[in-house]
Amino acid sequence: MARVNCNALKVGMMVTADVCNAEGMFLFPAGTQLTDRHLTILGSWGVLDVDVDAPEGMTTTDPLVQIAPEELSRLTGDLKARFLSLDEGDPVAMEVFRVMLKREAGPMVGRKTA
Amino acid sequence: MIIPGINALVSSLPEALGSYAPTIHEIEVALLSPQCSLSSVAAAIEKDPDFTARLLRLANSGFYGFPHRVATVTEALSLIGILQVHGLVVSTSIVERFAGVDADFVDMREFWRHSLACGIAARDIAQLRKMRDPDKYFVAGLLHDVGRLALLSCAPRITRLVLDRQKVSGSSLLAAEKEVLGYDHADIGGVLMKHWGFPPRLVDAVADHHRPLGSLGSKENASVVHVADHLVNAMRLGTSGEKKVPRLVPGAWEALEFEMDAVQRLVVGIDSQIDAVEGAFFLREDEPISHA
């Protein structure tokens, strides 16, 4: 069993605990086998992660520590260049930047560097 | 070239100010009638196959996440709400109105992807913030750049001047608009939204989405659209023509009183809905805008 980020959930996985949104509203019960429709519902209610019957360690690790340091450095530079002016002293602006970095690093996990 | 003031410019945009397509007008009449009922509105909607298809696709998409399939227009109206459908009717007619933008200026498919993503983000922000009628913010997000769209579509000579200025100065498109015109697309959008009869809180949210804390209306409403626009620009979901992600105005996030983890929550939500909502609005892959 593992707590898995919703981005990494796959159709067919089995939910091992009742799933609720952030306000505690019940969405579907433990034992549900995930379909495309469940994944969509999780996204539209902003659920971040759920308990599923999946290998330990699966995506519980930050993708930023799973990609090669040189890839992370290149990605960080590319992303910074995309912002008009990134205020590194502003914690909210930096949180947005960190979330974008993770979002773009996610698909690179497990990919071989050129 | 003489640069017109904002009112002169807006009144010179016939496409932007024109009346709605006949079927859209009929839906509006049914919605605003004192005898308005689910069945009278559904009957008017069903005369427009494009809008019917869009409404049902949207009702069945992850945007609403209803647990069962919505099969009829009447059911969609009762689940989504008549006022929200009114917003969708008007926005759809506006989407259809601006078809003829020069591809050199902006890719319209990308423009609408950006706008739809901003609508989703604004709705999710309002929902997370527990604001009243969060669905209304979808319309504000969807139409936040309608002023730029009017410029691109109806004022190509002015658009060319703005783009040339941006190229020379390396600034944002927003700054280039201000330098050339003395006002920007958000000001134009506010005037248009007012003309179309949107409620003041949506007019202000669009007009002030680049200066949320200076809004004379609700700073919170303007911050919803500003933060939505910033996140969607950072996520690179479509484009409104800006080459780089504009700055997040300090204090806008704080005006919404969110914790930091809301950034991740919102981004996950937007990513999971955008393709379905885009599919609901645009019926064919190769055709961004359906003409009645």
Look at residue A12 and tell me if it is in a domain.
yes
To the nearest whole Å, the CA of B23 is away from the closest chain A CA by: 31
Strand partners, A2: A52
B271 vs B291: which has the higher pLDDT:
B271
Nearest CA in chain B to A48: B265
Which residues, including other chains, have CB under 8 Å from residue A74's CB and lie 6 or more apart? none
Chain B partners of A40 at a C-beta cutoff of 8 Å? 61-62, 65, 272-273, 276
Cross-chain residue pair A46–B128, CB shorter than 8 Å: yes
Are A40 and B272 within 8 A, CB to CB? yes
Domain presence at residue A35: yes
Residue A6 lies in a domain: yes
The enclosing domain of A36 has a CATH number of 3.90.105.10
State the complex-level ipTM.
0.84
Residue A61 has pLDDT above 80, yes or no: no
Give A55 to chain B, closest Cα distance, Å: 22
| Torsion angle (degrees, nearest 10) of CA B34, B37, B43, B46 | 110
Nearest C-alpha neighbor of B12 from the set B163, B156, B164, B172: B156
B173-181 vs B146-154: helix crossing angle, rounded to 10: 60
pLDDT value at B94 more than 50: yes
Q: Which residue of B has its CA nearest to A46?
A: B269
Q: Between these two residues, B135 and B253, which has the higher pLDDT value?
A: B253
Shared-domain flag, residues A11 and A47: yes
**Residue A114 within any structural domain of the chain:** no
Q: Is the pLDDT of residue B18 over 50?
A: yes
Instruction: Give the minimum alpha-carbon distance from A60 to chain B in angstroms, rounded to a whole number.
Output: 15
A37 and A10 part of one domain: yes
Percent of chain B with pLDDT over 70: 92
**Confidence band, pLDDT 50/70/90 cuts, at residue B288:** very low
Residue A39 lies in a domain: yes
- Over chain B, what is the mean pLDDT? 87
Task: Give a three-class secondary structure readout of chain B.
Answer: CCCCCHHHHHHCCHHHHCCCCHHHHHHHHHHHCCCCCHHHHHHHHHCCHHHHHHHHHHHCCCCCCCCCCCCCHHHHHHHHCHHHHHHHHHHHHHHHHCCCCCCCCCCHHHHHHHHHHHHHHHHHHHHHCCCCCHHHHHHHHHCCCHHHHHHHHHCHHHHHHHHHHHHHHCCCHHHHHHHHHCCCHHHHHHHHHHHCCCCHHHHHHHHCCCCHHHCCCCHHHHHHHHHHHHHHHHHCCCCCCCCCECCCCCCHHHHCCCCCCHHHHHHHHHHHHHHHHHHHHCCECCECCCCC
The answer to whether position A15 is within a domain reads yes
Q: What is the pLDDT of residue A55?
A: 60
Pairwise CB contact (< 8 Å): B268 & A45: no
Residue A32 domain-assigned (yes or no)? yes
Range with the poorest average pLDDT among A51-65, B8-22, B137-151, B173-187: A51-65
Question: pLDDT: is A60 or B265 the higher one?
Answer: B265
Which of B65, B231, B254 is nearest residue A96 as measured by Cβ atoms? B231
pLDDT in tens, B174-232: 999 999 999 999 999 999 888 877 889 889 999 999 999 999 999 999 999 999 999 99
For residue B59, list its beta bridge partners: none
Per mean pLDDT, which range of A66-75, A96-105, B168-177, B282-291 is the poorest? B282-291
A45 and A10 assigned to the same domain: yes
Q: Is the pLDDT of residue B118 over 70?
A: yes
For testing the chain B interface, which of A41, A42, A96 should be mutated: the one with the most B CBs within 10 Å? A96
Q: What is the mean pLDDT of residues A99-111?
A: 86
Residues A67 and A48 occupy one common structural domain: no
For the ranges B93-97, B156-160, B208-212, which has the lowest average pLDDT?
Answer: B93-97
What pLDDT is stored for residue A114 in this prediction? 47
Q: Tell whether A47 and A7 lie within a shared domain.
A: yes
The total number of structural domains that make up chain A: 2
Mutate to test the interface with A, among B235, B243, B245, B275 (most CBs of A within 10 A): B245
Residues A43 and A69 in one domain: no
Distance (Å, rounded) from C-alpha B53 to C-alpha B55?
6
Q: Which residues of chain A lie closer than 8 angstroms to B244, CB-CB?
A: 82-84
Integer CA distances (angstroms), B194 to B134, B190, B208, B213, B214, in order: 20, 6, 13, 21, 19
How far from chain centre, in Å, is Cα B180? 24
Domain-located, residue A58: no
B284 band by pLDDT with thresholds 50, 70 and 90: very low
Q: How far apart are CA B37 and CA B58, in angstroms?
A: 21
Inter-chain contact B234–A87, Cβ cutoff 8 Å? no
pLDDT of residue A1: 65
pLDDT confidence bin for B290, thresholds 50/70/90:
very low
Domain ranges for chain B, please list them. 6-281
> Can you tell me the distance from the alpha carbon of A41 to that of B272, in angstroms, rounded to the nearest whole number?
9
User: Does the distance separating the beta carbons of A91 and B267 come in below 8 Å?
Assistant: no
Q: Does domain B6-281 have CATH number 3.40.190.10?
A: no
Both tokens assigned to A71? 């890839």
Is A39's CB within 8 Å of B272's CB? yes
- The identity of residue A66, as a single letter, is Q
For residue A34, give Cα distances in angstroms to B8, B166, B228. 56, 48, 29
Q: Which of A99, A100, A103, A104 to mutate to test the interface with B (most CBs of B within 10 A)?
A: A99
Of the partner residues B253, B269, B272, the one whose CB lies closest to the CB of residue A92: B253
| Residue B271: CA count within 13 A, CB half-sphere | 21
Whether A39 and A6 map to the same domain: the answer is: yes
Verify whether the Cβ–Cβ distance A96 to B248 is below 8 Å.
Answer: yes
Q: Is the pLDDT of residue A59 over 60?
A: no
- pLDDT-based confidence at residue B20 (cuts at 50, 70, 90): low
Does A45 score more than 70 pLDDT? yes
Same domain, yes or no: A42 and A68: no
> What is the C-alpha separation between A59 and A71, in angstroms, rounded?
18
Domain region containing A75: 63-108
Comparing C-alpha atoms, which of B230, B200, B228 is closest to residue B216?
B200
Which residues of B touch chain A, with CB atoms under 8 Å apart?
Answer: 61-65, 67, 124, 128, 172, 230-231, 234-236, 244-248, 250, 253-254, 260, 263-269, 271-273, 276
More confident site: B273 or B230 = B230
Q: Do B272 and A43 touch (CB under 8 A)?
A: yes
Instruction: Taking residues B148-167, report their average pLDDT.
Output: 91
Tokens 């009829």 appear where? Answer: B72
Q: Is the CB of residue B179 less than 8 Å from the CB of residue B165?
A: yes
Same-domain status, A6 and A47: yes
Lowest mean pLDDT among A51-55, B116-120, B156-160, B170-174: A51-55
Residue B249 predicted with pLDDT over 60: yes
Q: Which residue of A has its CA nearest to B248?
A: A93
pLDDT cut 90: percent of chain B above it: 48
